[in-house]
Structure formats: structure tokens, C-alpha cells
């Protein structure tokens, strides 16, 4: 079972996320994409509703173009 996910959040939501609660992030024009290890724990802690199941391409992009 895949536990990781990509949370889609606003800049206000992103500012509240602790650095040790995500793997990588990528800032887009209107939102942040945040790669998280366990999407259910992350969803409970931060109340962010949009957490997608990542494709392998998305994970690779987060590691190459994302920031820590």
C-alpha cells in the first residue's frame, strides 16, 4: 500500500507545515506541491484535503526540481 502522497496547498497552509513533516516541496504559480511520506497522518495533522496519490514521474520531478 502506498502511503506517500502529494499535498496541494496554499502558501498560508505551507507556512504552517513543519520541515520534518515533508520530504520535498515545489512552489508553483498558485500553490505548493508537497511530497509527504504518510498522507493519512499528514491529512490529520494539517487538515489539508487535497492529497493525491503520486505517479512515479511526479515523485521523480519532486526530487529533481523540488526543494527540501
Q: Tell me: the pLDDT tens digits for 21-32?
A: 999 999 999 999
Position 31 scores a pLDDT of: 94
Supply the pTM of this predicted model. Answer: 0.89
C-alpha count within 13 angstroms, C-beta hemisphere, residue 25: 20
Answer whether 9's CB lies under 8 Å from 48's CB: yes
For residue 30, give its domain range: 5-65
Q: Tell me: the pLDDT tens digits for 3-59?
A: 999 999 999 999 999 999 999 999 999 999 999 999 999 999 998 989 999 999 999
The number of domains in the chain is 1
Compute, in degrees rounded to 10, the torsion defined by CA atoms 68, 57, 33, 50. -140
3-state secondary structure 1-21: CCCCEEEEECHHHHHCCCHHH
Strand partners, 5: 36
Amino acid at each position: 500500500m502506498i502511503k506517500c502522497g502529494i499535498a496541494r496547498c496554499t502558501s498560508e497552509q505551507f507556512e504552517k507545515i513543519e520541515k520534518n513533516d515533508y520530504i520535498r516541496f515545489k512552489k508553483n504559480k498558485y500553490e505548493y506541491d508537497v511530497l509527504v511520506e504518510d498522507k493519512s497522518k499528514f491529512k490529520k495533522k494539517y487538515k489539508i484535503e487535497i492529497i493525491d496519490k503520486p505517479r512515479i514521474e511526479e515523485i521523480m520531478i519532486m526530487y529533481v526540481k523540488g526543494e527540501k
